[in-house]
Amino acid sequence: MPRHIPALQRTRKPPMPPGRRRLFVIAVVLLVGALGWSLAIVLKPAIQRTIVITTGAEAGIYRGFADRYAPILKRDGITLDIRGSSGSIENYERLKDPNSEYEVGFIQSGTTSPKDTDGLQTIAAVAYEPIWLFYRGDATINRLAQLRGKRVATGVPGSGLLNVSMVLLAHSGITANNTTLIEVDATNAYKGLQNGELDAAFFIGRPDAPMQKTLLNSNLKLMSFAQADALVQKFPSLTKVVFPRASTSIVDDLPQADVTLLAATALLVSKDTLHPALVYLLLDAAKTVHGGEDYFTPLGTFPNLNTDEFPVSDESARYFKSGRPFLQRYLPFWLASFVERRLLILVPFMAVLLGFLQALPRMAESRMKHRLVVWYREIKALEDEIWKTAQPTSEQIAQWRDEIDNIDAHASQIRIPHRYFQDIYALKQAIGLVRERIDQAARKAPS
C-alpha cells in the first residue's frame, strides 16, 4: 500500500542547512555594515564645521590672509583653524601628506615640484607676493650680481622666500663660495641691516604689511630689478610688477622713482578630498579679501586661475564660470550643504523607491496568490495520489476525505482582500472536484 503523506507535507520545502543559514546571516551583516559605512562617508562632509589651514610666520603675509578669511567663513558657521609654519615649502609638505590634518594652505608659485600623486588642487591664485631687496651703502645696486662678496640674508628654511632668493642669486652667479648667505627671519634681517651686520636682505610681502612699512620708511635703499624682464622670462612663476613713485609717501616723495620688483604668486591650495561646499566658501572669502585693487593689480585681478602648478579644482572652474551653485546662492550654507549631500542619497533612493512602489501591487498580489497556491499544490498532490492508486483501501479513502476536509477548513479561514474572493471560490471549486474524485475512488474500491 502506498505511504500516505499528510496535508501540507507533500510540497513543504526542506529546512535550510545550518551552513547555508550561517552564510546567509554573514552576508546580511556584511551588507548592512557596507551600507552603514557608505552612509557615514557620505554624511561626514555635510557636518564638517572646521577647516585646518597651514599658513606661515605669525606676522607673515599668509597669516594675514588667513586672519581675514576667518571671520568671513565664521558667518557660515565654519571655523578656520589657523596653524603657523615656516612658509610655503613646509605648507606643501604638510598638505601632500594624506594622513595629515591639514586641508588647506598657501603655497608660493615656483617653490615646489608638484607630482600627480600629491593629491592636491588649486582653489585659486590669490595675490602677488612682491620680493623686496633692501640694502645699505652709498652705491646703487640694481643687479643681483652686484651682491657678490657681501653679507646677504635669504630667508628661513622651509620658506618660499629662501627658495626663490637662492634660485635668483645662483642664476646671477652668487653662491655660498663667493658671498656670505645667511638664513634668518625678516625681523632679524631688518635688525642686521640697521646695525651693520648685513649688507642686503630679501623680504617678501605686501607693501602695507607692518615689516614692509617699516622698511619703506627707513633709511635703507630698495633695489629696482633692472633685469626683471630677463628674469621673468627665465622663471615663468615670477611676475614683473612696479611699485610706483611716491607710493610710500607723497609728501616726502618716497620712493623717488618707480621701482621694478619681481613677484611670486600666492596660491590657495587644498587636498583634493576637501568637500566641494567648503571650496565654494573659501572662494567667496578669497574674492572678498583679494578682489580689490592694490599697488600692483587693478580691481578684480585676483582671485584667478592663472596658474598650472597644481590641477585646478573642478569647483573653482565652475565658480569662475558661473558663480556659486544654485542652492548655495539662495540658502544658508548649512542648509544648502545638507540638501546637496542628501541628494546624493535621495536621488538613487528615490529611484529604488519608485521601482519598489511600482512593484508593490504586484508583490501584494503575488503574496495573496501564494496563500492560495500552497493549497492548490496540496490539492494537486492529493489528486495525483488518488489517480495513481488503482485499488484504494477503505483506510486510504477515509484519510483522503479527512485531508480534503482539512484543506477545505483551512481555505475557509484564509484572510484576503475582497477583490480576491473569486480566487477563494475557484479554490473551493477545485476542492469540490477532488472530493468527487475521492467519491469515485470510493465507489470503485472493494467493499
Tens-place pLDDT, residues 219-251: 999 999 999 999 999 999 999 999 999 999 999
Say which CATH architecture domain 48-324 belongs to: 3-Layer(aba) Sandwich (3.40)
**What is the amino acid identity at position 224?**
S
Q: What is the pTM of this model?
A: 0.66
Evaluated on CA atoms 183, 186, 187, 193, the torsion sign reads positive
Q: How far apart are CA 370 and CA 197, in angstroms?
A: 97
Mean predicted lDDT score pLDDT of the chain: 85
155-159, 241-245, 284-288, 380-384: which range is least confident on average? 380-384
Residue 241: in which H helix or E strand, if any? strand 239-243
pLDDT classification of 11: cutoffs 50, 70, 90: very low
For 272-281, what is the mean pLDDT?
90
Q: How far apart are CA 375 and CA 179, in angstroms?
A: 102
Q: How far apart are CA 35 and CA 425, in angstroms?
A: 45
The residue among 414 and 262 whose pLDDT is bigger is 262
pLDDT attached to residue 379: 84
Within 13 A of 231's CA, how many CA atoms are on the CB side?
A: 28
Q: How far apart are CA 174 and CA 95, in angstroms?
A: 32
pLDDT attached to residue 405: 86
DSSP state of 262: E
**What is the amino acid identity at position 280?**
Y
Q: Are 61 and 206 in contact (CB under 8 A)?
A: yes
pLDDT classification of 419: cutoffs 50, 70, 90: confident
pLDDT attached to residue 37: 65
257's grid cell: 622713482
pLDDT classification of 116: cutoffs 50, 70, 90: confident
Within 13 A of 228's CA, how many CA atoms are on the CB side?
A: 20
DSSP state of 419: G
pLDDT classification of 345: cutoffs 50, 70, 90: low
Q: How far apart are CA 182 and CA 155, in angstroms?
A: 8
Q: How far apart are CA 212 and CA 191, in angstroms?
A: 13
For 277-303, what is the mean pLDDT?
91
Other beta carbons within 10 angstroms of residue 364's beta carbon come to: 11
80's grid cell: 578656520
Tens-place pLDDT, residues 124-169: 999 999 999 999 999 999 999 999 999 999 999 989 999 999 999 9
Query: What spatial distance separates the first Cα and last Cα of the chain, rounded to whole Å?
Result: 17
DSSP state of 4: P
**What is the amino acid identity at position 137?**
G
**What is the amino acid identity at position 126?**
V
Nearest C-alpha neighbor of 222 from the set 231, 230, 213: 213
For 1-7, what is the mean pLDDT?
48
Tens-place pLDDT, residues 176-225: 999 999 999 999 999 999 999 999 999 999 898 889 999 999 999 999 99
Report the SS3 class of residue 177: coil
Nearest C-alpha neighbor of 137 from the set 243, 231, 41, 221: 221
Query: Domain locations in the chain?
Result: 48-324, 344-444
Nearest C-alpha neighbor of 341 from the set 283, 281, 276: 276
Chain-centroid distance of CA 234 in Å reads 37
Q: How far apart are CA 412 and CA 427, in angstroms?
A: 10
Q: Are 225 and 262 in contact (CB under 8 A)?
A: yes
251's grid cell: 609728501
Is the pLDDT at 2 greater than 50, yes or no?
no
Is the pLDDT at 420 greater than 80, yes or no?
no
Evaluated on CA atoms 384, 385, 388, 391, the torsion sign reads negative
Q: Provide the percentage of residues in the chain whose pLDDT is more than 70.
A: 84
pLDDT attached to residue 47: 54
pLDDT attached to residue 250: 94
Q: Which residues pair with 50 in a beta bridge?
A: 79
Evaluated on CA atoms 144, 146, 149, 150, the torsion sign reads negative
